[in-house]
Structure 1
Amino acid sequence: MGSWNSVQLEVLYNVLGWVAFVAWSISFYPQVILNFRRKSVVGLNFDFVLMNLTKHSSYLIYNASLFFSSTVQRQYREKFGFNEMIPVAANDVAFSMHAVLLTAFTLFQIAIYDRGHQKVSKACIGIVSVAWLSAAVCVFVAIHRHSWFWLVSCFNTIQVVMTVIKYIPQAILNFRRKSTIGFSIGNILLDFFGGVTNYGQMVVQSVDQNSWVNFYGNIGKTMISLVSIFFDILFMVQHYVLYRPKKTEDHSDPNVVSKEPLLETSDHPHSDSV
């Protein structure tokens, strides 16, 4: 069983982990609050939200299984070494549970609030369907082989793939609208801070253990932070540099988008499939 060599590093690890948890968890609320104030989800890409739900659901299965299941933990150590620490902390499980609930609630807001001409694209439906079909196939294979760590690793792979592609529709929508109105920058700033803090937590564990297995043994956690940080920077550039709001726009008014619609009209079919 792996154990900490330094009490100070263990404390720092836990502090960084829960700081990341708080930042990532709070990051869901600015968008939820913005949707509520505007009674509109125009500007928020629905593909982003649906793929985000698939991503967080897969990540919850991975985190909870590796954190609670002794069988999965044993198979992990058989692969990476019996002295290695499990690379999933309590804050990872707590974050995943919270993320699934808040993302599902955002989908509920999409169902009840003004959507304009936006809708979920067929490409997104296809991607999500393939993801869950692949997961089902992996379950049947794992049951036959009793490869439970391999199974949860499949869910980890799904969440990595979803993380890589989920931001793209929102980035494209911002580009086509030449605006980020309707998409909360508060979400992005907190997500960026959580990603950086998460990397700090992983580095602390690696330094204490004098091993980098923490990174490649949990490639999903490594990749989601890297990809998230990249897209967070892109969204910040879009919001603060490329598509800065006009000084004449009143951003205190939650109905600013409905008064000055920025989406393409129905004459331009691309707006419906972003």
Structure 2
Amino acid sequence: MDMLTNYFVKFIWLSLLTIVILADPSINDDENPSEEQSTNNSLESDPIDVQMLADETAFFHVYLINPPEKPVNVSFICEHSPCSTFDHQINPIQLTSDNYRIQINITAVRPGHDVIIFKFNDTTISDKFAFTRVRVGRGQFWAILSLFWGWGYFFIWSLSFWPQNVTNYRRKSVIGLSFDYTILHFTGFIYYSIFNCGLYFSSVIQEQYEAKIPRSEIPVELNDVVYGLHAAFTTSITFIQCFIYEKGNQRFALISKLYQATVWTIGIILIILVWFNVINWLTWIYYFSYVKLMVTSLKYMPQVYFNFRRKSTAGWTIWMIWLDITGGSFSMLQMLTIAYNYDDWRTLLGNLPKFGLGLASVLYDLIFLFQHYILYRNSTTELSSPSSSSIEKCPSIKASTISLQNSPCNFDSTTILVQAKPSSNK
């Protein structure tokens, strides 16, 4: 129980620390006055994201927060010239105190992705949000299909965490489940949730991300946050079950303990550096995202080896694998559909970690299916203690007349035969 206590202390400490980050917007803020404080106006777009189909016409508004003291001339260029989604030039406009909100119409001619940047020469006006992101799709069918893949993998992957917990509960045993896989699975989603919650909820971290990658979208959505927190909760149940149910002689490997100690020690060192302004919060949460990538690439290996060593998949529920391989396939299909729909394969190349993680999950799942249905298909009986199972199979035995080597009961080296005392018949 000591290890269980230690891990939950770390979990509680980390949860409190995350709350502090989210609750205190002044942490690690820049000492210099922000751009909004040094200017009295701002040029912005409404909406900032425009989604449309090829050959369609859409619009967005360019406006100033406050009326300008003098006319402001605004021109438009694409971040990556020439523009990929439309051929015509957007005519310059002039914003005045009487008309400081103007509608801009654009007609897309091909699928793609553009960032339209507003150019002007008034230094008293902030240009932080002076841009519009435009995404042009091939057709509504591909958008609906992408939505189907996205919600499909969200629900299927979320559901995949429960079958192992139910199996452990019914058996009141975790024999057959690798402890090293369990701790990697559990802590991996804690790392993932730190990254998602920090980037989704913290305005400070969002500003740091915007400064690092200007005019980019925050790469975390609400479903990512919910998925990560749900996964951390369900895998924590599996972790607890390893301490309260029958486990045989299984223990955590030394290398697993050293790995966890190293990860958390580095995390503590980095947070000290944050407090001394050596690094910022964005760097800190990205550390955990990189650890999560490594964990996902390696976490299945202990269970693969555990099944191989036992020559059995008993205790390892195959339903989790079927759900996992389906969710992983849906995740990759969504990315491919989005890239094709918007003719923007940079989104696929720019998010190779997500695509690689889906691919890694599918490859590992194929190994588990091969082990379960081919290699060890005759060794998937429910696990129990050797002595009780042997006696149940052969309830009436006589140690003096049976040969252990030739016995059909297949006793192993741990089976103890007890000479039955003949009953007396009256």
Tell me what 2:273 maps to: 141
Is 1:203 the counterpart of 2:336 in the alignment? Answer: yes
Tell me what 1:271 maps to: none
For residues 203 and 143 of structure 2, the distance between their equivalents in structure 1, rounded to whole angstroms, comes to 22
State the identity as a percent.
Answer: 34
In structure 1, give the amino acid aligned to 2:291.
I
Counterpart selection for 1:118 from 227, 246, 250: 250
Between Structure 1 and Structure 2, which shows a larger proportion of strand residues?
2
Contact 1:25/1:99 (CA < 8 Å) preserved in 2?
yes
For residues 344 and 324 of structure 2, the distance between their equivalents in structure 1, rounded to whole angstroms, comes to 27
5 Å matches for 1:123-272? 123-143=255-275, 144-145=277-278, 147-207=280-340, 210-212=343-345, 214-215=347-348, 217-218=350-351, 220-245=353-378, 256-258=382-384
Q: CA deviation at 1:139?
A: 2.3
C-alpha change, 1:105 and 1:195, in structure 2 (3 Å) is same
Map Cα deviations across residues 231-261 of structure 1 (whole Å, 9 max, x no partner): 1111111111211125xx7x5xxxx210558
5+ residue gaps, structure 2 = 1-47, 52-134, 390-411, 415-426
Contact 1:156/1:220 (CA < 8 Å) preserved in 2?
no
Secondary structure (helix, strand or coil) at the match of 1:183 reads: coil
Q: CA deviation at 1:124?
A: 0.6
For residues 2 and 85 of structure 1, the distance between their equivalents in structure 2, rounded to whole angstroms, comes to 9
Counterpart selection for 2:156 from 16, 20, 23: 23
Tell me what 2:29 maps to: none
C-alpha change, 1:81 and 1:217, in structure 2 (3 Å) is farther
Tell me what 1:88 maps to: 220
Contact 1:17/1:91 (CA < 8 Å) preserved in 2?
no
Counterpart selection for 1:33 from 162, 166, 174: 166
Q: CA RMSD in A?
A: 2.6
Contact 1:3/1:85 (CA < 8 Å) preserved in 2?
no
Between Structure 1 and Structure 2, which shows a larger proportion of helix residues?
1
Tell me what 1:75 maps to: 208
Using the size of structure 2 for normalisation, the TM-score is 0.55
Contact 1:188/1:235 (CA < 8 Å) preserved in 2?
yes
Q: CA deviation at 1:61?
A: 1.0
Map Cα deviations across residues 91-134 of structure 1 (whole Å, 9 max, x no partner): 22111111100111111111111001111111111111111112
For residues 296 and 211 of structure 2, the distance between their equivalents in structure 1, rounded to whole angstroms, comes to 28
Number of aligned positions between the proteins:
256
User: Higher relative contact order by CA 8 Å / sep ≥ 6: 1 or 2?
Assistant: 1
For residues 190 and 174 of structure 2, the distance between their equivalents in structure 1, rounded to whole angstroms, comes to 22
Map Cα deviations across residues 127-186 of structure 1 (whole Å, 9 max, x no partner): 111111122223233441453332221111011111122111111110011111101111
Contact 1:80/1:217 (CA < 8 Å) preserved in 2?
no
Between Structure 1 and Structure 2, whose CA radius of gyration is higher?
A: 2
Counterpart selection for 2:233 from 97, 101, 106: 101
Tell me what 2:177 maps to: 44
